[in-house]
Every structure is written in C-alpha cells, then in structure tokens.
Amino acid sequence: MPDDLNWAIGGEAGDGINSTGKIFAQALSRAGRQVFTSKDFASRIRGGYTAYKVRSSTERVESVVDRLDVLIALTQRTVEENMDELHEGSVIIYDGERTMMEDFEAPEGMIDMPVPLKRLAQDAGGAIMQNIVALGAACEAANFPIENLDEALEKRFGDKGQSIIENNQQAARLGEEYVQEEYDREDFGYDIETTDNDYVLLNGDEAIGMGAIAAGCRFYSGYPITPATDVMEYLKGRLERYGGHVMQAEDELSAINMALGAARAGARAMTATSGPGIDLMAETFGLVATSETPLVICDVMRSGPSTGMPTKQEQGDLNMTLFGGHGEIPRLVVAPTSISECFHKTIEAFNLAEKYQTPVYLVADLALAVTEQTFSPEEFDMDSVEIDRGKLVGESDIDTWLNDKDQFQPHFPAADGISPRTLPGTSGGAHMTTGLEHDELGRRTEEQEVRIEQVDKRNQKVDTAKSEEDWDYREFGDSDSETLVLSWGSNEGAMREAMDFLDEADVSVRFISVPYLFPRPDLTEEIEAAEEVIVVECNATGQFADVIEHDSLTRLKRVNKYNGVRFKADELAERITEELDTPQEVPT
Amino acid sequence: MSSEIRFTDFKSDKQPTWCPGCGDFGTMNGMMKALANTGNDPDNTFVVAGIGCSGKIGTYMHSYALHGVHGRALPVGIGVKSANPNLEVMVSGGDGDGYSIGAGHFVHAVRRNMDMTYVVMDNRIYGLTKGQFSPTSREDFETATSPDGPKQAPVNPLALALAADGTFIAQSFSSDAQRHEEIVQQAVEHDGFGFVNVYSPCVTFNDVDTYDYFRDTIVDVEDEDHDPTDRDAAREMITDDETEYQGVLYQDEDSVPYNERHGLTENMADIPDGAPEDATDLVREFY
C-alpha cells in the first residue's frame, strides 16, 4: 500500500464539511505530511452534495487523483458521488444509527465502518461534534496518530475557549477508541508516516492576498463573488494592520472605480472578482489604461458564460483578459500556475503595474483559488520582496517635467512610453486626466497627430515591457523530449504528477507551464523543436492554444476539459497519451 | 498657504466649451470659491467628474483631477479619499450621470458618508447628447425621446439622499452666486458626505426649467427660518413637490464620516521599500 492517503468527507452543505476537512488537512500538515485538498461544492448555502478531499503523502503532491482510501460519508449520496474513486479496501465511515444511513452497507470489497458518530459526540458534550468523532475514527483507520488532531483543533476552536477545545479532543478520542474496539486496524493496511518537516497550508486566494500585502497593497475594493471572495476575506482585518483598508463595494463597477481612485491617490490598489465581475469592470478597465493608472485586477475564473457554474472550475476568461474592452487597450496579463506562484506573481503584478502605469490582469482559476496545498514556508520569502514604484516624481525633481507654462505633463510622450507620475499632494504636480483621448497635459483632444502620439505612447509601454522584462516560463520534464506539453494556470500541478504516470509508461515529455499571457514568451523555437505539441487547458475552445498557434504560425493538438472539474493527474496522463502519434497505455 | 490662495488658482487656462449662458459656469465658480475659502489649494484637492457637460469641469479647473466614466465618479472619489484622507475630494456630475446610470453609487455614497463633497449640476435634461429627458425631467417634458413627455415621476435626489440617511443635504441655484458659494462651502466644511444639488439651467435644450423659472419660484430655506438639524421639517420640505427650495435642508451635526469611523488617517501612498517588517507573521499564520 503506498503511503499516499486519499481521504474525504462528504455530506450536505451546512454539515460542517469544510471546517472538518480543513482540520484534518491541518493535522496532516502539522505532522509533516504534504497535503493537497480539493472541494466539491454546489452553489447553495444548505443542502446539496458537498465534499472536501484531502490527499496526503510524505512526497510532493500537486493534484488530485481518482482514488479514495478513507471516506467519511454523512449521506448515502456521498458514496454514490464518489463510487468511481472508491476501490477494494477503501474504508467508509458513517453513522449507522442515523435514520438515513440505517440500511446502508458498503459496496463489496470495501470496508464497512459504521460508527455511532452522533451518540459518541453527545457523550463528549454535544451532537455538533459528530464530524470530529468521525475524524478520530479516520485517524485510527489510517493509523495516523490522533495527537496530531489536537493542535489543529486548538487552532480551529482557540477563540471559543479551552472547554470547547477539550470537548472536541475528547470527541476525537471516542471515535478512535470505538474503531479500536470494534475493528482490527491490521485489516485496513494503512500506515501513515509522519515527518519532522514544517509546512504551511494555504490556498491560492490566500496566497494572492498575502502577496498583495507583501507588495505594499493598501487598498482593496471588491464585491463578493465565488471564487474570488476569499481574497477579500483574507485581506479584511489584515490589510488594516498595515495601514490599509478593505472596502466592500456596492457592485463591481464601484469596486474597480474605487480601486482606480485609490491608485490615483498613490496607494497600491487591487480589486478581485470572477468572470461576471470582469465583464462589468471592462468599461473602467479602458479608463484605467487610458489614464495610465497602475492597478491590479484579479480574475479568479469560474465556469461561464453568464452565471455558468459558479462553483466549478474553468479557464474560459483568457480571451476576455487578453482582448476584452472596447477600443484597443494596452495591458499586461499575468497568470500564476501554482499556489506559491499566486504569491510571487501578485507581487510582480504590483511592480509591473506601477512600472508601466497600466492595468495588470492577475488571472487565477477556481482550482488554484480554493485548493489548499502544503509548502515549505521559505517559498513565501518576505525578505526577497522588492518594490518598484516606477517613475514617481517628487517635489525635488518636478521641475524637469513641467512645460514652459509650469504645467505638469502626466502623459508626456517619453521614448519608452512611460511618463513621469505625481501623486496628489505633490506641490506643483496638479494635473487632470481622462478616458477621453488627451494631450500630454491630460486634456481632451481630437487632434490627429496627438491621437496617434498618445496611442503609440501607450502601446510603446507594452513594447518596452516586452524588451525589459523576462517573460519566462516554467519548465519540467525532459527538455529533449519530442513531445511538448503546454499549459497555463492550475494545470501545472496535475501535469507535473501526470508526468510520473507517463514515466511509468515510458513516455517522456517536455512540459512548459506559462505564467505570462501578455506579453508571453515566444515559444516558436520550443514548438519547432518538438515532434508533437499538446496544449492542455480547462475550456472548450482552446483559447490558449489559439494564441500560441497565432504566435508560432502552426497547428497544435489540444486537450480540453470543461465539465467543471479540474484535471486529475492520472486522467491527464491518459488524455495526453491518446493524443500521441503512437498512443500508450498508462498504468494507474 | 491658504491666505495666498485665490479661487482663480483653481482655474485652468482652458476656456470652457459650455454654451454661452450655461448654468455650469456659475456652478463651477462657486465650487472654486468654496475650495479657496476653505483653505484648500490645487495640490491638495482632487476633483472627480463624470460624463456629460458637467464632466468637463475637470478640464476647466486646475487641481489633481480625474474625468471618469459615466455615472462612476463617486466611487473614484471614495477611493481617493480612502487612500489619502488629507486630500480635499470634490466630485461633480450631472443629473443623468448621478441619478440615472450612477443612482446606485449615489445611494451608497450617501450612506457611506465619506468626508467629501458631491456637487450635481442638475439641468433636468441630457445636454451633451442633445436634449433627451433626464431622471429629473418633469413628467410631461417633451423631448426627442419623450414626444409626449416621459410619463414617469422625476427622481427627487434630495429625498433619495434623505432616505439613505444623508448627513448633509442641500440645494442651490447656480445663478444665485452668493448663496450657491455659501452652500457649497458649507458642504465642504461638513464632516461627512456633503451633497449639493444645483439647479444649473441648460439654455439650449431646456425651455421649461429656465433661469426665469427658478428666479421666480425658488424659496430660500433661510427665509423660512428652517432649522436644518430638524429632520422632520427637512423631510417635509424635501417631499414638497410644489416648491423649489435652496439652502441647507438637512445637516446632521453629529455626523462621523466613514474615514473617521474606519480610522483612515494616513496617506496610503507611503509604503515600505520591501515587504512590511512583520510580514513573516503572515506566513506563520498558515502553519
């Protein structure tokens, strides 16, 4: 039996699935195990199937797989929903005394483990702790030392007082003891190793929020929307500690305009939303670009169009972020490919925004945003954070940028396209700007030469950025392989693990994960060096494949997924081999 | 500094392209005087304008300024004031800008009560798109898009502000320069969201709500011995459809602005060169 443990708790929304899953994930992480979590949730507050899955191992884990070893099923539907991931030897923990589960029996070959969750919880002090009883039972089933739960419970219930913590710890013990008495651990074959490694456990939204603070973001405005809301919830209360403010706006139109105002006043500002919100923000996006205001706009993609599937994965907004908005709008588009990159790319986005005085789209997806993963804390190195505020002009050097009438020129057509910038309060720097075409003073104009000069100036900033920055990619696997796989966003983790499966089938691939979507690395050479090129993305039409084909003037193979669920490593390995000229069988 | 500042310092060298006789000239003059009278200078003032004739104001004034998109000037002003509460923030728009496309933002800006001033140039018509009815147009006001009148009730901006718990609700008439200037100045001095609806006649497209009409009908609340802290009296005046009032109709003297409630006092532009000193604590939270 591999050391890999795939655990899940499932039930109805409102059953405390999330907090229970999180407690278990934290316990594993504190025990020095690598953890990767995923959530199945529906767009409703109570009821409806929901699950929290935790994969853990002593080795690197970067994705979910089609396998469940221990399942806590609060409802029968939980078992049905996960049937294809359960296998011989899977343990199913449920409350056999619960009316709705009375007649339930685990499918053949699986280990049926009824535990009186509610009754034992009541013994410990309250029925509400039935999930914790189940956690204790799961610890025993997986042979995972229950002491690891204690700290996680302290963290979860710390603000509710010592007695609540102790009751929960007791509830877990009762679950553990019940399984010890009623079952023989040897029958399960799970033996979970712990290590001395220190890990932190966080999701992509939290990493984006943390990156924003590290980058000096001081103003955040947003409107609640799945799956971007965690960014706002993370920042609220924390941004204030650093002299900042989180403003919940009345809508997305307001959110981006507030952020624009704060940015013009000199604060590093950000808004985050998902697809529908990005549509609403598109109008102001043009103003941000035309007024040359540095702003980070984060799009945590979900399934679209329209309201689509709000709680499901998709990477369908690439075209919107690359091309959205009326007129031609210079922009930068950065897309982190892993949770730790969410931190680093957010910091970079703020620097790029101020350096080039442009809006920067920071594009993440649901699978990145709500997934938690363990990292060594050094991956979030605060000492390496550098701040570049660009061409900020103070009172001492303002004279250089005044015209002969002592007027400040916010849109001075510098050769690199980047003008000097003054912040309100700077003496002598007062100026206006507008979304209308304007001259170097920011004043409306329709003069043909000035129009051309200003359009060229704004576009020049992108060309300057192209030549000054390193629009690199992340590479994995065998760089000499004839098979090249390209992807963006959250697919990186699944693909990295898919490569392990492919190795076993003797299929070697070169994998390039692209974090910069505009400007983006020129991959022509890499594409030409490969025999076959496969582009992996979570959308139906292959938006990323389209732009890469356009760049490299070639046709690429595509692996697309748009059922609302992220790629799983083993599934992806299979899909890749199907595309190969000589398809291979992948052992899973 | 304030003693040296004259209102003309807020004037840019750009000549307004408003129609001769437009009410917006007087509205803007009052705004500039109110700013100068209250000790502000162009370098600490931020003016945000919406779209339409009113939106041109940022070009004609000299200060830090942004000319935004239609209806969204208020959120920009709120962002500016949050990021740097030391700035004097003045937002200006028209009746279409503020009460139609921006109506949602208006209500929320009022109840948020950020310490800023909002001056609406209300001419009861869309001017720049050449004469369609606006949200404050009368029910029977005939225009190209309402040949038989809009046949819907006009928005009462003051009532909207009152319903949203506005802390400073005033109305002025751009042609009554002295009173207009006083009222805007009071709005600037108010601790919170100072809202002034200004009758700012459109001489080109509106032949009903004219200078003469307002001169003949307007009633100054001061002549009525109105106590602006009396909310009931204010409500009565505001919902009186028969009379056009000018003056401060309501002021909450205990108003505590949003920025104060949320402890926004520092200029957020001042950020450290690297990550904040204790930023590693942020990572530690995830152990």
Q: Helix/strand/coil (H, E, C) string of A28-39?
A: HHHCCCEEEEEE
C-alpha–C-alpha distance, residues A135 and A93, integer Å: 9
**Which tens digit of pLDDT belongs to each residue from A177-211?**
999 999 988 888 888 899 999 999 999 999 999 99
C-alpha–C-alpha distance, residues B220 and B171, integer Å: 10
Smallest CA–CA separation between B68 and chain A, in Å?
Answer: 6
Check A257 against B75: CB less than 8 A apart. yes
β-strand A510-513 against A432-434: which pairing, if any?
unpaired
Check B282 against A253: CB less than 8 A apart. no
- Residue B1 at interface with chain A, using a CB cutoff of 8 Å: no
Q: Which of A2, A49, A7, A50 is nearest to A149 (CA)?
A: A7
ipTM score here? 0.98
CB B1: neighbour CB atoms within 10 A? Answer: 10
Check A216 against B286: CB less than 8 A apart. no
Least CB–CB distance from A213: residue in B45, B104, B282: B282
Angstrom CA distances, B249 to B34, B169, B225, stand at 18, 6, 11
Check A265 against B72: CB less than 8 A apart. no
The model's pTM: 0.96
C-alpha angle with apex A471: A483 to B270, nearest 5 degrees?
A: 145
What's the token pair of residue A578?
Answer: 């199907």
B98-127: average pLDDT: 97
Check A267 against B264: CB less than 8 A apart. no
Check B86 against A425: CB less than 8 A apart. yes
Which residues are B196's β-sheet partners?
B119, B170
For chain B, the straight-line distance linking the first and the last C-alpha, in angstroms and rounded, comes to 53
Check A434 against B67: CB less than 8 A apart. yes
Residues in B closer than 8 angstroms to A383, CB to CB, are 274-275
Cβ neighbors of A187 (< 8 A, separation 6 or more) are A111
Q: Which of residues 31-60 of B touch A (CB under 8 A)?
A: 42-48, 56, 58-59
The total number of residues written for chain B in this structure: 287
A317: helix, strand or coil: coil
Least CB–CB distance from A266: residue in B13, B47, B83: B83
**Which tens digit of pLDDT belongs to each residue from B175-190?**
999 999 999 999 999 9
Amino acid at A543: Q
C-alpha–C-alpha distance, residues A95 and A72, integer Å: 9
Supply the mean pLDDT for chain B. Answer: 96
B163 pLDDT higher than 80: yes
Check B268 against A243: CB less than 8 A apart. yes
Least CB–CB distance from B75: residue in A249, A267, A283: A249
- Beta carbon pairs, A and B, within 8 Å: 217
Phi and psi torsions of A68, nearest 5°: -130, 125
What pLDDT is stored for residue B2 in this prediction?
45
To 10 degrees, what angle do helices A204-214 and A339-356 make?
40
What pLDDT is stored for residue A14 in this prediction?
87
Least CB–CB distance from A258: residue in B66, B78, B271: B78
Cβ neighbors of A341 (< 8 A, separation 6 or more) are A515
Categorize the per-residue pLDDT at B3 as very low, low, confident or very high, splitting at 50, 70 and 90.
low
Least CB–CB distance from B83: residue in A202, A267, A431: A267
C-alpha angle with apex A158: A157 to A162, nearest 5 degrees?
A: 95
Categorize the per-residue pLDDT at B1 as very low, low, confident or very high, splitting at 50, 70 and 90.
very low
Ramachandran quadrant class, A538 (left: phi over 0; alpha: psi -120 to 50; beta: rest): beta
Phi and psi torsions of A411, nearest 5°: -120, 35
Check A382 against B108: CB less than 8 A apart. no
Which residues are A269's β-sheet partners?
A219
Q: Which of residues 67-96 of B touch A (CB under 8 A)?
A: 67-69, 72, 75-84, 86-87
C-alpha–C-alpha distance, residues A548 and A232, integer Å: 33
β-strand A5-12 against A49-57: which pairing, if any?
antiparallel
Smallest CA–CA separation between B16 and chain A, in Å?
Answer: 12
Residue ranges in chain A modelled with pLDDT below 70: 1-2, 588
**Which tens digit of pLDDT belongs to each residue from A538-585?**
999 999 999 999 999 999 999 999 999 999 999 999 999 999 988 777
